[in-house]
Structure 1
Amino acid sequence: MRRKIFFAIAGFVLLTLYTGCKLDVVPQDRYTDALIWKNPENIDRYIEDQYQVFKTFAFGRFPIGYNNATDALTDIMKFTSDLPGNGTVNRLAFEPGSVNPSSPGLDYWSAGYTQIRRINEFLSGLQQYATVDDTKRRTFEAEARFIRGYVYFWLVKLHGSVILLDKPATSKENSRSSEDECWNFIATDFAFAAEHLPVKRDDGQQGRVTNAAAYGMLAKTWLYAASIAEYDKKQFNKDALTGVPAAKKDSYYRNAVQAAAAVIKLAEGGACGLEDDYAQLFSSRNSKESLLTINYLRPSVVHDFDRDFCPPADVPGAAVAGVPTAELADEFEMADGHPFSWSDPAMAANPYAGREPRFAATILYNGAQWKGRTLNTTTADTREGFVEYKSVPEPKRTVTGYYLRKMLDAANTNIFDNKSDQPWMVMRYAEVLLIHAEATTKTGDLGSARNSLNQLRNRVKLPPVTATNEAQLMNAIEHERKVELAFEGERYWDLRRWRKAHIVLNNVRFHGHKISPDGNGLRYETVDCDKQNRFFPTTFYYMPIPLQEIVNNTSIEQIQGW
């Protein structure tokens, strides 16, 4: 996809020359709004540039700026550093008092509204000046509204109640809308996009959003709104504008079912679908499973995922940002569908044998084959082996006994020079099936829920889920989301929308597996990889609006509790 910055529109100049007869004259030596918008190619380049926003969140970077940052706030990943900078995520997990309106920690407000302003200016110009036909106009509008919906989706996940703007702002004084209004606004943007975007893009437009991506995000939006309606119940914040009325839960879950079903219907028609090989899924640039992909291309459009997560021998001298936890490793089932358990002598004696395929596709473990070598993550190996967290400020090796495998490029053997260019899937079909499974569970259609869930399990040859009630199915869905979507930036937000973060992430420590030589065998020991308790106060369900925004806009009040 072209990533050019459209200099002409960014430099709009509107001049009106007045003569003695009040005659309006079009200047011949500069661009005007009308002149620029007459060229469809200019419009196309402008909207292409707005796709940069998806890179903000690629590889779970979030606004913190570190790959897998939000997953490292949860039970599935541990960041290794105890230093400022690389250890920022640990400090957010350990020290909630560091988060305040002056220093929000998770902050996207200014960047998000800058993006919204650009989209609204584009939509205004499109309606006033563009000379394209109605079909093309609607497609451009749908594309822009998809991006606006995506930006608002992140803002509302953070704050609940935000300022809604559907046109260029004429004043800096704007008040917050209710959280319910915000979710509906986002849904309206995605619904419009779903109606007017094409099923398939022409050659040369690969990577541009389609209606499958729009329906997918619409389903996700309604699932979030329904989750807040069901689980929040104004227990955690008394702000008049946060929360979604509990009475709307059922209708919002039904909306999520309908949107997810639209994607499933498109899949049945061949527009998308599951790939057969989970392990190869994340290196494909043209996967049928991807509903929206951000592609990178060496040498100019690259990222640093391999540098941050490859085992140390791959990148001499580099820090290993984060590693999988024991909690995640233990979550993967055996190949026959039995839960893994350290209390089972046979499993404990050889814990990495006989696991389901997603385990080896997600985690590098002791004895795994990687780039022509056998990984040694025991305490005996001083290069790639286990080291206690906090024993050194920047350990540059695993503090849990594991390394990440998912999304790494096994063919990248010169990471410092090559950087990384593997794609990032903003949304994939597997997530839609999980959304459909959850929403149909909540609407009482347990058969459809099991069917969607079992499509994912069938891919990796696991036995089907046979849950017969809502509670059992929700447990199965949480498990599948945890392993299927690991390191795709979903776990933190799932725990928040389910209002379980203050239970799972508060006053707890997570763990690793310390492996030591023991005679002719190995000794496995579950160890604390945090060394201090993590905290998630319930105020974190609604993050503060940055203080400077409150100063700049006297019509906006801070989220109550901050």
Structure 2
Amino acid sequence: MKKLIIYSLIGVAVASCSDFLNLQPQYQINENSFYKSPKDFETALVGNYAGLQGLHNTSVVNVGDLTTDNTDIKSTSPTTSEAECDEMNLTASNDFLNSIWGTCFATIARSNNILSRLDAVTMTDAQKNQYNGEALFLRAYSYFYLVRLFGNVPIVDVSFRSPDEIMNFDMTRKPVSEVYNVIIKDLTESATLLNGVTGLSKSQASVGAAKTLLGKVYLTTKQFDLAKTVLKEVIDLKAYTLNADYKKLFTNGNDELPESIFEIKYLSGNVGEGNSFSTIFMPSRFDVGMFPGNMQGAGRVLPTRQMANSYEKGDLRRAASIGDSVKLISGKYEKDLFGLKFVDFTTGIVGDGGINFTSLRYADVLLMYAEALNETSNTTEAHTYINMVRSRAGLPALAGLAKADLTLALENERKFEFFLEGHRWFDLIRTGRFLTVMNKYFKDNGLSFTVAEHEVLMPVPLREIDINPNLGQNPGY
């Protein structure tokens, strides 16, 4: 039984163990026929990046936006998991949390497989450094989601070659501080290994991506001086600029834009390679006439009226992020709020959106750097960087704000800049403002929902606890 428990927790970490996956057919890939050449490692990394498509397709947006004052559900038949996010009342059976846990640990396991096998294969130092750096980034990227959502989690930093190795490994949850130590070490090493590597796609880890994520980690752990240093290094790379047209970031053809630091690729026309934003961000109506074949929306994640009404006058991001009127099959338009980001109006097939999701972009670097400056008593200088983002949005510059006022201004700026990008929950948790903001939102809108102190962490998926009872559950669930 213990073999089953640990195998289920680690998932693909053991997928290459020939002891009990004795794959006989020649067309099957196993440990004896793979990880033998640089091309094999390229293939393995492509597969590992592909796993992030599912992570960002719906789960991150539901957990990052639907749990907040940004969005709500207007579906006629929401799932239990969607309703839990909307009401900020998540349970251990939530499908989105299950998906995030499983996807992140699968990515970690694949990364471990790659890292543990590189030294045994003949390749150039440049190739080895690149593959190492990419795998370390992906492992850190996954652990960063896990630790922010669930707190203590198991640390698995090895690749298993036999069931006995799995049986003897410590699968208990480790303190948050230890998880962050792993993340910081991985990202620091990744940035060093990837420094100078050229020709990378924006869908691959790079020195800029590693340092941007490291800056976010330092900001989250309140190591503001370190965050300030590493984020300034990203700026000084001069590899990224704000895209002049904000809307272009979220529409067809947004591949490899100068603002993009790390993006998740989606492809229309290939089964399983598209995204679902075109349905979940559109109203749940049978008469929508905005897509080929009159594909219907699902109304899963829609802007709240409060969100739609709270943009500053003249903010160019409003029209690029939120639609107010739906075109009907009849050709008429009817008032209805919906999200515009990542919505592919060229496809009429559910789950076939071909617009990339930008996970890390330069505007985030600028706003995080402003936050780090402000937190280290460089408030005057911090104005410069928030104003760069505001200028692109067509808004006037801020000036003369005190530290506390600029803190709130940065929170507000991030709310509008990253709407529907899965940032809001993580931002409010990071700054300790989640309970205040959400309880006020629920009260102001006459809703009976409340957020309790323990809900700043999500529940560990019940499925995982059933498999491995040693995981335990977070307090309050």
TM-score range, shorter chain: 0.7 to 0.9
Tell whether 2:451 aligns with 1:536.
yes
User: Is 1:281 aligned with 2:249?
Assistant: yes
Q: Would you say 1:182 and 2:179 are equivalent positions? A: yes
Give the alignment partner of residue 460 of structure 2, picking from 528, 536, 545: 545
C-alpha displacement of 1:91: 3.4
Tell me how far apart the structure 2 counterparts of residues 374 and 361 of structure 1 sit (CA, whole Å). Answer: 21
2:408 to 465, 472, 475: 475
Which residue of structure 2 aligns with residue 522 of structure 1? none
For residue 97 of structure 2, give the secondary structure of its aligned residue in structure 1: coil
CA distance 1:137–1:321, shift in 2 (3 Å): same
Cα deviation, 1:525-554, whole Å, max 9, x if unaligned, reads xxx5xx742222211112233345445546
The answer as to whether partners of 1:161 and 1:179 remain within 8 angstroms in 2 is: yes
Amino acid at match of 2:135: A
2:279 maps to which of 286, 295, 307: 307
- Whole-Å separation in 1 of the counterparts to 2:88 and 2:359: 30
> Corresponding residue for 1:524?
none
Structure 1 partner of 2:266: 296
- C-alpha deviations, 1:50-88, integer Å up to 9, x for none? 0023213325x226xxx5453122111111125352x63
Q: Kindly tell me: are residues 90 and 168 of structure 1, through their superposed partners in 2, closer, same or farther at Cα, counting changes over 3 Å?
A: same
TM-score where L is the length of structure 2: 0.83
Residue 3 of structure 2 corresponds to none
Contact 1:293-1:423 at 8 Å conserved across structures: yes
Unaligned stretches of 5+ residues in structure 2: 1-11, 21-25
Label 1:51 to 1:217 Cα distance change in 2 as closer, same or farther (>3 A).
Answer: same
Correspondence for 2:308:
329
Counterpart residue number, 2:334: 376
Query: Match of 1:223?
Result: 219
Indicate how the Cα distance of structure 1 residues 35 and 88 shifts in structure 2: closer, same or farther if over 3 A, else same: closer
- 8 Å CA contact retained: 1:143, 1:209: yes
CA distance in 2, matches of 1:502, 1:11: 44
User: 2:82 matched to 1:89?
Assistant: yes
Distance between the aligned counterparts of 1:363 and 1:304, measured in 2?
17
Aligned counterparts of 2:267 and 2:424: Cα–Cα separation in 1? 28
Q: 1:266 aligns with which of 214, 237, 249?
A: 237
Tell me the amino acid that sits aligned with residue 265 of structure 2.
N
Matched residues in 2 for 1:406 and 1:32: separation?
40
For residues 501 and 42 of structure 1, do their structure 2 counterparts lie closer, same or farther at Cα, with a shift above 3 Å needed?
same
- Pick aligned residue for 2:438 from 488, 505, 509: 505
Judge conservation of contact 1:173–1:556 (CA < 8 Å) in 2. Answer: no
**Residue of structure 1 in register with 2:71 after alignment:** 77
What is the DSSP-based 3-state SS (H/G/I as helix, E as strand, rest coil) of the residue aligned with 1:81? coil
Counterpart residue identity of residue 328, structure 1: M
Q: Which one of the candidate residues 143, 150, 153 is aligned to 1:162? A: 153
* Equivalent pair of 2:261/2:361 in contact (CA under 8 Å): yes
How far apart are the structure 1 equivalents of 2:28 and 2:459? 44
CA contact (8 A) 1:219 1:257 kept: yes
Could you tell me whether the CA contact under 8 Å between 1:307 and 1:416 is conserved in 2? no
The amino acid across from 2:411 in the alignment is E
Q: CA deviation at 1:33?
A: 5.0
Confirm whether residue 432 of structure 1 aligns to residue 365 of structure 2. Answer: yes
* 1:126 alignment partner, one of 85, 108, 118: 118
Is this contact kept in 2: 1:213–1:427, CA < 8 A? yes
Q: Secondary structure at the match of 2:152?
A: coil
How many angstroms does 1:507 deviate by? Answer: 6.9
Task: Give the secondary structure class of the aligned counterpart of 1:279.
Answer: helix
Q: Which residue of 1 aligns with 2:338?
A: 403
Q: Please, which runs of 5 or more residues in structure 1 have no aligned partner?
A: 1-6, 16-27, 227-251, 335-354, 378-397, 512-527
Alignment CA distance shift 1:425-1:373 (3 Å): farther
Pick closer, same or farther for the CA change 1:41–1:157 going to 2, 3 Å: same
Deviation at 1:453, TM superposition (A): 0.6
The alignment yields a C-alpha RMSD, in angstroms, of 3.2
Q: Which is worse superposed, 428-437 or 69-78?
A: 69-78
One of 247, 250, 254 as aligned partner of 2:225:
254
CA–CA separation in structure 2 for the residues paired with 1:41 and 1:289: 30
The structure whose Rg is larger is: 1
* Paired AA for residue 38 in structure 1: K
